Structure 1
Amino acid sequence: MKHTSLAAAMLAAFAVSGSAMATGLITLPATGFAVPGGTSAYATCNLTGDFGSLESTPPTFSPNGGANNTCAVPSNNPPVSGYSLVVSTPRNIRINNITIGTVTDQVWRNAAGTSCVYAAKIRLNNVDYNPSSAGTQYFEVNDFKRAGFRNRGPVSAGYNFVTRGGSASDEVLFRVGLTSTSVAHVAGSTVAQPLTSVAPISDNWVDFTSDVNFMDPDGSSMRDSSWFYVQSGCTSATPTAVTGALRFRQTGQEGQPVVEISVDGYAPAGANTNQ
């Protein structure tokens, strides 16, 4: 994510549609979203910053409205009113036998035991994930995927952004959709909502597009993701982890190799990682 002027960031904020006034989780319909030319699995959330090529503008959460609020949830404690934290587990993100970061994996549940929010937050370390290559390769999470939501609809999603002062803050969520296909960003030319011919709808996976990297080749870095949320039907059973339910994708935004890391993660009872 490159830094740009405040004026440019404000112009980018006004480029987002009027729906950016609304805060909170948004529903991801199994039929997708109507867009010019057809249908997209993706909803747009915060499009300021050109998918991380420029500096993003965070949500405002103003009680009187404001820009960049689509998909944005004001609180992580709880992310949805009336839900209680059931479990929170830190998990290592590993590649080439190297721990490159962690993901905090959580489940929140309503009192009736019928609806859950599955939460995840990524932090990447100051680590070379491929020391056999010259230089230092920092893994970049362009897309984070979560599995297990088939037959658990309706599915909603969103994010919680935190600013900690100075350059230490989360990266925003650019878009989110019911799909297993991550579409690589090309600076200045990426379609915000790819058609289903490019990214088919999958009612089992939710894909979050962001730009998380301890040391980003484009000149500025956000090592922490926002909290990423999926709300779906669930049961009162004790949450268990599903093998490979969390996926971290480097899609080559700055010319890096295309890489996916798979990690166990909480999912609704009976879930699987089928497409």
Structure 2
Amino acid sequence: MMKKNLQTSALSVALTVASMTASATGFVQLPATGVVIDGGKSAYITCNTTGEFGSNPNGSTPPTFSPNGGANNTCALKSIDPPVAGYTQTASVVRDIVMNNAYTLNQPITVGTVVDRVWRKGVSCIYGAKIRLNNVDYDRRAISPGVQYFEVNDILRANFLKKAPVSVAYVYTTRGPGQSDDVVYRAGLTNTSVVNFPGDPAQPLISVAPINRKWVDFTTDISFQDDDGSSVRDSAWLLVKSTCSEQTPAETDGALKFRQMGQEEQPLIEVRVKAFDPSAQ
């Protein structure tokens, strides 16, 4: 979606946060038993819910840190080098995001890339991912005219079950006119992604998206060209902080998952990629 990220007067609009748990700049802890909300509990905290989870053609409002503390910066950090002072990068790999299913006629198609990194400070690690989607048609079937671009609404990283506490943050960057990341709308300990339409609650109940302490799910909205008429091809840096050992980070197949959830009625598609695995440290 072409997030025209409102850089003018809209920057002064404060983010309405549905949960007091997620009301701080920087890393925010994901409660292992969920977040208390109206009607029950949710696995999700909210970060930046401007832009209606990407469905608003005017885009989301990016985080700021000044003046007077800034606005729209829940879960946001200023820098990625390093994301937190005192942490040292210990691993970094660029990986292809390869789709291979019935839509691709069972042929591998590289729909994007992800930078996968780990930073460490003693027995604390930060696992980071940043995605860029390609200008490529993934649906090669004859019944699908035109170009179908892979859209990523949810990005999940695995294996935090024994790594409590787990906290999340993101780093948003702007590289020039029309070149910016998408924000993170929410994050939670769940393996059940839920598509968000205008008017839907920002934090689905655990009866809809159950708590799963193995997985951290980030909700965002990126596509080389979105069906709603606008586009952001880059995610923010998506960061998860947890305990770890001092071993070299290990890699596991499928430790990152990318999901197209059908916000514009696209088919539900999941692509899995090898990634650094917290459970192996």
Tell me the TM-score normalised to structure 1 length: 0.92
Residue aligned with 1:51, SS: helix
1:70 to 74, 78, 87: 74
Residue aligned with 2:179, SS: coil
Equivalent position of 1:222 in the other structure = 232
Quote the Cα distance in structure 2 between the aligned partners of 1:12 and 1:60. Answer: 9
List runs of 5+ in structure 2 lacking aligned partners.
Answer: 101-107
Post-superposition shift, 1:14? 3.4
Quote the Cα distance in structure 1 between the aligned partners of 2:7 and 2:276. Answer: 41
> Is 2:131 aligned against 1:122?
yes
Q: Structure 1 counterpart of 2:179, which letter?
A: A
Tell me whether 27-36 or 8-17 shows the greater mean CA deviation. Answer: 8-17
2:187 to 162, 170, 176: 176
> Is 2:246 aligned against 1:233?
no
Give the count of matched residue pairs.
Answer: 268
Q: 1:232 to 1:63 in 2, by over 3 A?
A: farther
Quote the Cα distance in structure 2 between the aligned partners of 1:38 and 1:71. Answer: 23
1:196 to 203, 206, 231: 206
Equivalent position of 2:105 in the other structure = none
Quote the Cα distance in structure 1 between the aligned partners of 2:170 and 2:237. Answer: 5
Equivalent position of 1:95 in the other structure = 99
Equivalent position of 1:45 in the other structure = 47
> Is 2:17 aligned against 1:17?
yes
List runs of 5+ in structure 1 lacking aligned partners.
Answer: none
> Is 2:43 aligned against 1:31?
no
Q: Conserved in 2, the CA contact under 8 Å of 1:9 and 1:57?
A: no
Quote the Cα distance in structure 2 between the aligned partners of 1:121 and 1:192. Answer: 23
Quote the Cα distance in structure 1 between the aligned partners of 2:129 and 2:17. Answer: 27
Q: Conserved in 2, the CA contact under 8 Å of 1:172 and 1:226?
A: yes
Q: 1:126 to 1:63 in 2, by over 3 A?
A: same
Quote the Cα distance in structure 1 between the aligned partners of 2:117 and 2:206. Answer: 30
> Is 2:140 aligned against 1:136?
no
Q: 1:65 to 1:5 in 2, by over 3 A?
A: closer
Equivalent position of 2:104 in the other structure = none
> Is 2:221 aligned against 1:207?
no
Post-superposition shift, 1:165? 1.4
Q: Conserved in 2, the CA contact under 8 Å of 1:235 and 1:269?
A: no
Tell me the TM-score normalised to structure 2 length: 0.90
Q: 1:229 to 1:141 in 2, by over 3 A?
A: same
Post-superposition shift, 1:151? 0.9
Q: Conserved in 1, the CA contact under 8 Å of 2:46 and 2:186?
A: yes
Q: Conserved in 2, the CA contact under 8 Å of 1:107 and 1:116?
A: yes
Residue aligned with 1:10, SS: helix
Post-superposition shift, 1:185? 1.6
Residue aligned with 1:129, SS: coil
Quote the Cα distance in structure 1 between the aligned partners of 2:3 and 2:90. Answer: 38
Post-superposition shift, 1:268? 1.6
Quote the Cα distance in structure 1 between the aligned partners of 2:184 and 2:126. Answer: 17
Post-superposition shift, 1:63? 5.9
Q: Conserved in 2, the CA contact under 8 Å of 1:9 and 1:49?
A: no
**RMSD between aligned residues:** 2.1
2:177 to 134, 150, 166: 166
Tell me whether 251-260 or 131-140 shows the greater mean CA deviation. Answer: 131-140
